[in-house]
Amino acid sequence: MTVLLTYAAVLLLAVSIMLSRASRRQLSAARKALATNEAALTEAGQALQEAVRAKLDAEQRHTGLDERLEQAQAQVRTAREALDAVRQAPLERYHVFDRMEPRPGALWAVTVARSPDVPSSAPPWSGERTFLLTAASQSEAVERVTLRYPRASGFDLRTAAPCPISFGSDGPRGGKRPRV
C-alpha cells in the first residue's frame, strides 16, 4: 500500500507540475494580451482626445466664421446701400481743359456756363461744364479759362476752386495740394 501511495503522490506531483506550467503559460499569454490591449486602449484614448480637440477647434472656427460671415454680410449690405446712393446721385462730369505738357501747380476745377441763344462757331453746349486744369494760382486758372471761353462769346465763368477729386479725404482745407 505504501507503493500505491507513493505512486499516487508522484502522480499528483507530476500533475501539479504540468498544471503549474500550463497555468504559467496561460498567465504569460494573458499578460501579453493585457499589455497589447492596454496599448491599443491608450492609443484609442489619445485618438479620442485628438478628435475631441479637433472638434473643439472646428467649433471655435465655425463660431468665428459665423461672426465673420455676419460682419461680411453687414459690410455687403452697407456697400450695396452706398452703391445705390451713388447710382441715384446726379452724375458729375469733369472735362479736361488741355492735354499739353504738365505744368507746375495745383489742379483747379473751373465751372463755365454757356448761354444757348448766343451764336458761335464752337460746337453748341448748354448748361454748365466743369473743366480741370493745372495752374499755380486761382487767378491764373481764371485767366486761362477766360482766354479760351470769353464772355463776349456767351460764356460765363461761375466758380474757380481747388479740384475736389485731387485732395482725397482731406479736402482742399487739409493743406495737401498735389503737384503735377
Query: Is 100 among the domain residues?
Result: yes
Domain termination residue (choose one: 64, 89, 114): 89
Q: Indicate whether 74 and 48 sit together in one domain.
A: yes
Domain termination residue (choose one: 46, 74, 89): 89
Q: What is the DSSP letter of 85?
A: H
pLDDT at 180: 35
Q: Indicate whether 114 and 40 sit together in one domain.
A: no
Find, among 132, 142, 129, 141, the residue nearest to 167 by Cα. Answer: 132
pLDDT at 173: 41
Domain range for 140: 95-174
pLDDT at 119: 65
Number of domains forming the structure of the chain: 2
Q: Indicate whether 44 and 20 sit together in one domain.
A: yes
Q: Indicate whether 64 and 41 sit together in one domain.
A: yes
Residues 6+ apart with CB under 8 A from 110: 97, 130, 131, 133, 141, 142, 145, 157, 159, 160
Domain termination residue (choose one: 29, 54, 89): 89
Rounded alpha-carbon distances, angstroms, from residue 152 to 40, 76, 149: 101, 52, 9
pLDDT in tens, the chain (180 residues): 889 899 999 999 999 999 999 999 999 999 999 999 999 999 999 999 999 999 999 998 888 888 899 999 999 999 999 999 988 888 777 777 777 777 788 889 999 988 777 666 656 677 788 888 888 899 999 999 999 888 888 888 888 999 877 654 444 444 444 333
Q: Indicate whether 20 and 55 sit together in one domain.
A: yes
